[in-house]
Amino acid sequence: MLEIRGLDVAYGDYQVLWDVSIDVAAGEIVAILGPNGSGKSTVLKAIIGLCRARSGTIRFEGNDLARLAVHDRAGIGIAMVMERRRLFPAMTVRENVLLGAYPAAVRHDAEARLGWVEGLFPILRERGAQPAGRLSGGEQQMVAIARGLMAKPRLLLMDEPYLGLAPKVVLQINDIIRRINAEGIAVVFNEQNVNLSFALAHRGYLLESGRLMLGGTGQEMLHSDVVRRVYLGE
- Among 36, 62, 69, 234, the residue binding other proteins under the rule CB under 8 A is 69
Binding flag, residue 65, other proteins (CB under 8 A): no
Q: Contacts with other proteins: how many residues (CB under 8 A)? A: 30
List binders of other proteins among 22-61 (CB under 8 A).
48-50
Rounded Cα–Cα distance for residues 152 and 176 (Å) = 16
Q: Does residue 95 touch other proteins according to CB under 8 A?
A: yes
Any contact of residue 137 with other proteins (CB under 8 A)? no
What's the CA gap between 227 and 66, in Å, rounded?
32
- Cα 190 vs. chain centroid, distance in angstroms? 7
Rg value, the chain, Cα: 17
Q: Is there binding between residue 124 and other proteins (CB under 8 A)?
A: no
For the bound state, the minimum distance from the C-beta of residue 6 to other proteins, rounded and expressed in Å, comes to: 25
Binding piece for other proteins, criterion CB under 8 A, among 80-88, 171-179, 200-208, 217-225: 80-88
| Residue from 25, 26, 66, 70 binding other proteins (CB under 8 A) | 70
Among 99, 120, 163, 196, binds other proteins (CB under 8 A): 99
Element (H, E) at 5: strand 2-11
Given the DSSP bridges, would you call strands 211-217 and 203-208 parallel, antiparallel or unpaired? antiparallel
Torsion of CA 53, 160, 77, 5, to 10 degrees: 30
Number of continuous H segments (helices) and E segments (strands) in the chain: 11, 10
Q: Where do contacts with other proteins occur on this chain (CB under 8 A)?
A: 11-13, 48-50, 69-72, 74-75, 79-80, 82, 86-91, 95, 98-100, 102-103, 106, 147, 151
